[in-house]
Amino acid sequence: MKNHISQVSVKTLLAVVFTVFALSSKIYAQDGEKLFKQNCAVCHASHTDQKLTGPGLKGVFDRVPKGDWINKWILNSEKMIKSGDAYANKIFNENGKAAMTVFEGQLNDKDVASILDFIKGPPPKGSVVVQGPPTDGGEPTEGNGGIEPLYLILGAIVILAILIGSLRSVRASMQNASNRAEGKPENPDRTFGQEVKHWMGSNRRLVGVFGIIIAFAGMKSCWEACYDIGVYYNWETQKGYKPEQPIKFSHKLHAGDNEIACQYCHSSVEKSRHAGIPTVNICMNCHKGIQSGPVYKDKEIAKIYEAAGFDPKKGTYDNSKQNPLQWIKVNNLPDHVYFNHSQHVVVGKIDCATCHGNVKEMTVAEQKSPLTMKWCIECHRKTEVAMAGNAYYDRLHKALKEKYAGQYDVKFTVDKIGGLECAKCHY
């Protein structure tokens, strides 16, 4: 009697644990907030009108056409633009013709519905937009808008374990009372751990199945964690990272209002894997004559003179008084990642704003893209190779046309020319 009840209790506990564990992935898959963060937050603000790469989504349902238009747009915006849809082309042109990711095949209708429900709902309570490492030396925090489902699951398991333990104790007491009344010896009490061990020994195949499922689930979790390395483990590769620089340099004033080309200051971007941080000599090319700015007047420009050892009154340099500027790099990649700027800018013809955001509107430079492996892979999957008029790809273009002859709808995206090979970025 006792062993039977004990085995039923253990089976019940393990069955509930397994069921909850299996359903947890479904809970996450249907979580609109998580789906939004994974697929949309790189380019869109969910509950404000702040423009990132794409427009803010506050009030989006009042702007777009009614019906299932927004569902079709999310799944395949490219198809809607090519179909001649007026509003689709209006959005495309208003946002600098920046291509939106084609999610058809990655998201289904239920996923889109979850995302839209999240956007329609109120902003997550307690959300905090992370702007970089904390200045008070404390631990970084970020609100998550409520209790994570995983915590609820773990709490339910703990409560269930306590309940089963209590029932075991009651059952043992009642069984021994019955034995005493019948003049039988009391049953020796067996701990919960001993019962679990006995059950596992009697059900080795089922335990083996549990072990395999848990192992694969762990591997999947590790893979997803690798996709997001940089977002959670390194403040210097955090989207929104905006460090205070030694000089209050405005990209909006220089690159936006005065239309200075990015390559003028970042001169190695077309020749090297590094874009390069401009030296103070680059600054002096202009500021030897321009000694006052529209916002800070001569205060910030004086720091340039101090770094260069320049006396603006005499117009002379003193090398002994030079004090090099310690600029803080905004966009960083881990040491095990190889990225070549010249390959992307010159050969790939990728615009700087694709990765760095619209720098021409930034007063203070900040990281606009997450720079995770997942983000890079998705870009390689959707970005078409710029072959037309590009001598670098002439031989490859000819070979691919012969290989895919007759397949007129083939798009030569970066992943089709080895853009997903591990050794391309990790060596």
**How buried is residue 275: exposed, middle or buried, by Cβ count under 10 Å (0-12/13-18/19+)?**
buried
How far, CA to CA in Å, does 12 sit from each of 6, 72, 91, 155? 10, 44, 54, 17
What's the start-to-end Cα distance of the chain, in Å?
62
Q: How far is it, in rounded angstroms, from Cα 72 to Cα 100?
A: 13
CA torsion 263-265-270-274 (nearest 10°) is -140
What string of DSSP letters covers 344-406? IIIIS---HHHHH--GGG-SS----S---HHHHHHHHHHPBP--TT-GGGHHHHHHHHHHTTT
Region of poorest pLDDT, from 53-62, 100-109, 147-156, 163-172 = 147-156
Q: Mean pLDDT across the chain, nearest whole number?
A: 79
Q: Where are the domains of the chain?
A: 2-27+148-227, 31-120
CA–CA distance, 300 with 245 (Å, rounded to integer): 11
Q: How far apart are CA 190 and CA 3, in angstroms?
A: 10
Tell me, what amino acid is at 38? Q
Task: Tell me how far apart the alpha carbons of residues 209 and 212 are, in angstroms, rounded to a whole number.
Answer: 5
Q: How confident is the model at residue 309 (pLDDT cuts 50, 70, 90)?
A: very high
Amino acid at 138: G
User: Do you know the residue count of the chain?
Assistant: 427
Whether residue 19 is predicted with pLDDT greater than 60 in this model: the reply is no
Residues 28-67: tens digit of each pLDDT: 434 788 888 777 876 788 888 877 667 888 888 888 898 8
Place of tokens 């720098």: 359
Domain 31-120: state its class. mainly alpha
Give the model's confidence band at 138: pLDDT under 50 very low, under 70 low, under 90 confident, else very high: very low
Name the band, by pLDDT with cuts 50, 70 and 90, for residue 275: very high
For 287, phi then psi, to 5°, come to: -85, 0
- Within 8 A by CB and 6+ apart from 286, the residues are none
Distance CA 319, CA 310 (A): 8
Instruction: Give residue 97's pLDDT.
Output: 78
Which amino acid does the sequence have at 90? K
Give the pLDDT band (50/70/90) at residue 217: confident
pLDDT at res. 182: 83
195, 336 Cβ separation under 8 angstroms: no
Residue 8 in tokens: 């039923």
pLDDT, tens digit, 9 for 90 and up, residues 109-126: 888 888 888 888 887 654
Could you tell me the two tokens for 37? 């963060």
* Mean pLDDT across 72-90: 89
| 334 has a pLDDT exceeding 60 | yes
Whether the model pTM is above 0.75: no
Mean of pLDDT values over 62-84: 89
Q: CB–CB of 240/129 below 8 Å?
A: yes
**Going by C-beta distance under 8 Å and a sequence separation of 6 or more, which residues neighbour residue 130?**
140, 142, 238, 240
